């Protein structure tokens, strides 16, 4: 038994069409939209592909052909509301319409419900859909499958299914819109002397010239080796971030050579290690002031 507040919300709900409340059997509703989260590899997103998804759906019960009544019986007109789906209730000063509590607004009453669907007329099933993934699709993009959402009510149109794209993490590349980024470890002798190295791209290996005296953090841009986005007119770039690798598990001979290298470099740090020299100068100024 609701007070005034409830009575008002019921009235306004009916006037302003508050959802599916108080619906009689003649009310027609569009089915709800559904969302499906789809994980896509970077390669499939870049080149486009086609995949199949399995989604749950409510289908008409085959046992009762959707009537909800047991075989051999039929739904009857609801005795409480005489099939109107609504009943008139007296609440305080108001006489208000309410959804029939016996038939929940359908206007029909099933005395002997179907054992397969328990009177609902629908059963849960799965359907398989084919989804075309356009090339260049990105994280968060949505593909709409018209009419593949929930079925409509009382003959209303079905909703749509939105396939939401999530990119799987890639072992080599990180995507940033149309650009790709990758880390590129190089030996410190290659970094110092320069050389040609091979870098991975989405369509195979590319050669990259590393100039002498390349420092860690340097970024090389390979134009057009990124991804062509769905709404883009050209490919993005591949950005290779240089990381100098300190040599590991050194042999005695290698250590010997490095020690010798260090000894002959020490006399002229200004020339061979300008960054370290500049840093030491700043530290000295910091303590000196």
List residues near Zn ion by CB under 5 A: 61, 63-64, 78, 80-81, 100, 102-103, 114, 116-117
Instruction: Rank residues 34 and 117 by Cβ distance to Zn ion and give the closer one.
Output: 117
Report in angstroms how near the CB of residue 160 gets to Zn ion at its nearest: 27
Report in angstroms how near the CB of residue 113 gets to Zn ion at its nearest: 8
The C-alpha R_g of the chain, in whole angstroms, comes to 35
Report in angstroms how near the CB of residue 100 gets to Zn ion at its nearest: 3
Instruction: Rank residues 106 and 201 by Cβ distance to Zn ion and give the closer one.
Output: 106
Instruction: Rank residues 22 and 136 by Cβ distance to Zn ion and give the closer one.
Output: 22
Report in angstroms how near the CB of residue 55 gets to Zn ion at its nearest: 22
H and E: helices and strands count for the chain: 6, 15
Report in angstroms how near the CB of residue 10 gets to Zn ion at its nearest: 17
Cα–Cα distance list, 146 to 56, 76, 80, 143 (Å): 16, 35, 39, 10
Instruction: Rank residues 80 and 270 by Cβ distance to Zn ion and give the closer one.
Output: 80
Half-sphere exposure of 199 (CA within 13 A, CB side): 25
Instruction: Rank residues 153 and 202 by Cβ distance to Zn ion and give the closer one.
Output: 153
In terms of DSSP bridges, do strands 94-99 and 238-245 run parallel, antiparallel, or are they unpaired?
Answer: unpaired
Cα–Cα distance list, 65 to 29, 68, 164 (Å): 20, 8, 34
Instruction: Report CA dihedral (239, 240, 242, 245) to the nearest 10 degrees.
Output: 150
For every residue of 190-246, DSSP letters joined together read HHHH-EEEEEEETTEEEEEEEPTTPPTT-EEEETT-S---TT-SS---EEEEEEEEP
Instruction: Rank residues 42 and 64 by Cβ distance to Zn ion and give the closer one.
Output: 64
Report in angstroms how near the CB of residue 11 gets to Zn ion at its nearest: 20
């Amino acid at each position: 038994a609701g007070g005034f507040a409830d009575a008002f919300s019921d009235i306004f709900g009916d006037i302003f069409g508050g959802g599916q409340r108080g619906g009689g059997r003649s009310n027609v509703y569009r089915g709800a939209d559904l969302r499906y989260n789809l994980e896509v590899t970077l390669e499939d997103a870049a080149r486009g592909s086609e995949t199949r998804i399995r989604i749950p759906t409510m289908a008409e019960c085959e046992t009762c052909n959707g009537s909800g009544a047991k075989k051999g019986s039929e739904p009857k007109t609801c005795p409480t509301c005489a099939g109107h789906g609504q009943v008139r209730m007296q609440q305080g000063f108001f006489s208000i319409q309410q959804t029939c509590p016996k038939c929940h607004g359908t206007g029909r009453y099933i005395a002997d419900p179907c054992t397969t669907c328990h009177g609902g007329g629908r059963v849960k099933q799965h359907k398989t859909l084919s989804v075309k993934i356009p090339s260049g699709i990105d994280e968060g993009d949505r593909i709409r499958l018209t009419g593949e959402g929930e079925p409509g009510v009382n003959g209303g149109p079905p909703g749509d299914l939105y396939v939401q794209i999530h990119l799987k993490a890639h072992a080599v590349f990180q995507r940033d819109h149309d650009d790709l980024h990758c880390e590129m470890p190089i030996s410190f002798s290659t970094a110092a002397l320069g050389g040609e190295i091979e870098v991975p791209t989405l369509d195979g290996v590319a050669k990259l010239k590393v100039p002498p005296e390349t420092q860690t953090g340097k970024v090389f841009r390979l134009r057009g080796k990124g991804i062509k986005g769905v709404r883009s007119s050209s490919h993005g770039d591949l950005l290779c971030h240089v990381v100098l690798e300190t040599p590991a598990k050194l042999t005695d001979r290698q250590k010997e050579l490095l020690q010798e290298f260090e000894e002959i470099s020490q006399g002229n740090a200004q020339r061979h290690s300008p960054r370290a020299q500049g840093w030491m100068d700043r530290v000295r100024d910091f303590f000196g002031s």
